[in-house]
């Protein structure tokens, strides 16, 4: 759906993005992950031509973005800017309605969709009449997400959309985010420097450093098939937690206990959390840890 081919961008003679290539499949969430200044935002902005690439090509749905007018290109792309990027002199209602206004939607349709998204993003209706500076950073970010989702574009680019949220709200929004109906049919590129977020939301991850892509792969490939020491070191700090989170009950070959609400895609981490809250489940808990350890040994060869 999105193909980036050997794209580069220099600022003042210094490479910010250096011959990067990757693709995002239809309906995939691809995460661009890396430390501050590695070129994530520059990469994202080149995809909707907020920044023009110096060289290389970008295709969306087979079409070279250079052959389209930037305004037309952007009509098909929802964009969540880093730090929300809301218009300060517009109310929240007006901010969310920017694209519907361009598309000349009728007022009732815009209003219904606005309320629907507010609800899904845990925002109360009374924010609508306020201005962005009258909201917390995390609330502003959620308005930024609502604004990007409202027109239901096939492509969504999100630059650290959950960056200003505390961990508890973040966990809530992550699980809501994963179950949002409107995301099911989209191709999403999501930028983050948060390793856990990348693992939780990404189908695949592009790990970047100094304007280059170091490795692209599924969360499991990043952990168990690292291409070099940089990749291993990048995930070293959270490694065990990440391993528990990406292993599923199916991976461990554990018998399912549907009474507890588990299915084969439940992560070992979630299952252990639930089992640990009731001493009746001690045996199940211990067996799952054993099964996980056996699975893990087979991966690290």
**Which of 147, 158, 189, 191 is closest to 139 using CA atoms?**
147
Binding part of the chain for ligand ATP, among 39-47, 52-60, 263-271, 285-293 by CB under 6 A, reads: 39-47
Binding part of the chain for ligand ATP, among 29-37, 57-65, 266-274, 287-295 by CB under 6 A, reads: 29-37
What distance in Å separates the CA atoms of residue 157 and residue 136, rounded to the nearest whole number? 22
- Could you say which of 40, 120, 147, 296 contacts ligand ATP (CB under 6 A)? 40
Q: Which residue is nearest to Mg ion (CB)?
A: 41
Output 41 or 216, the one with its CB closest to Mg ion.
41
CB of 82 to ligand ATP, least distance (A): 6
What distance in Å separates the CA atoms of residue 19 and residue 21, rounded to the nearest whole number? 7
**Exposure of 59 by Cβ count < 10 A (0-12 exposed, 13-18 middle, 19+ buried)?**
middle
- Could you say which of 31, 38, 165, 189 contacts ligand ATP (CB under 6 A)? 38
CB of 170 to ligand ATP, least distance (A): 17
DSSP 19: E
What distance in Å separates the CA atoms of residue 28 and residue 59, rounded to the nearest whole number? 16
CB of 16 to ligand ATP, least distance (A): 3
**By CB under 5 A, residue 110 contacts Mg ion:** no
**By CB under 6 A, residue 19 contacts ligand ATP:** no
**By CB under 6 A, residue 42 contacts ligand ATP:** yes
- Could you say which of 1, 20, 41, 142 contacts Mg ion (CB under 5 A)? 41
CB of 252 to Mg ion, least distance (A): 37
Give residue 84's region: left, alpha or beta (phi > 0; psi -120 to 50): left
Angle at 207 between CA 221 and CA 120, to 5 degrees: 90
CB of 189 to Mg ion, least distance (A): 13
Beta pairing, strands 187-192 & 204-209: unpaired
**Which of 158, 162, 243, 155 is closest to 197 using CA atoms?**
162
* Ranges within 176-235 binding ligand ATP (CB under 6 A): 193
Output 82 or 141, the one with its CB closest to ligand ATP.
82
Q: Contacts with ligand ATP: how many residues (CB under 6 A)?
A: 13
Binding part of the chain for Mg ion, among 2-10, 50-58, 76-84, 141-149 by CB under 5 A, reads: 76-84
Residue 22: how many other CB atoms lie within 10 Å: 18
């Amino acid at each position: 759906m999105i193909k980036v081919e050997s794209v580069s961008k220099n600022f003042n003679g210094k490479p910010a993005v250096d011959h990067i290539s990757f693709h995002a499949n239809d309906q995939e969430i691809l995460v661009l992950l890396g430390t501050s200044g590695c070129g994530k935002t520059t990469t994202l902005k080149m995809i909707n031509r907020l920044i023009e690439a110096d060289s290389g090509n970008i295709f969306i749905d087979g079409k070279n973005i250079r052959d389209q007018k930037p305004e037309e290109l952007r009509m098909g792309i929802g964009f969540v800017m880093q730090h929300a990027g809301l218009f300060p002199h517009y109310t929240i209602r007006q901010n969310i309605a920017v694209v519907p206004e361009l598309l000349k939607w009728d007022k009732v349709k815009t209003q219904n969709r606005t309320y629907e998204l507010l609800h899904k993003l845990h925002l109360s209706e009374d924010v609508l009449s306020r201005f962005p500076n009258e909201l917390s950073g995390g609330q502003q970010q959620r308005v930024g997400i609502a604004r990007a989702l409202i027109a239901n574009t096939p492509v969504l680019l999100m630059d650290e959309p959950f960056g200003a949220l505390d961990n508890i709200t973040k966990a809530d929004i992550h699980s809501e985010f994963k179950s949002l109906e409107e995301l099911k049919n989209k191709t999403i590129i999501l930028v983050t420097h948060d390793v856990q977020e990348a693992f939780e939301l990404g189908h695949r991850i592009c790990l970047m450093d100094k304007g280059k892509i170091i490795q692209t792969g599924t969360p499991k490939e990043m952990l168990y098939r690292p291409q070099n020491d940089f990749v291993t070191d990048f995930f070293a700090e959270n490694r065990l937690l990440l391993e528990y989170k990406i292993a599923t009950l199916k991976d461990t070959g554990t018998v399912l206990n549907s009474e507890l609400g588990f299915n084969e895609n439940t992560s070992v981490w979630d299952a252990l959390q639930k089992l640990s809250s009731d001493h009746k489940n001690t045996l199940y808990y211990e067996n799952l840890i054993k099964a996980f350890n056996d699975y893990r040994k087979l991966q690290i060869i």
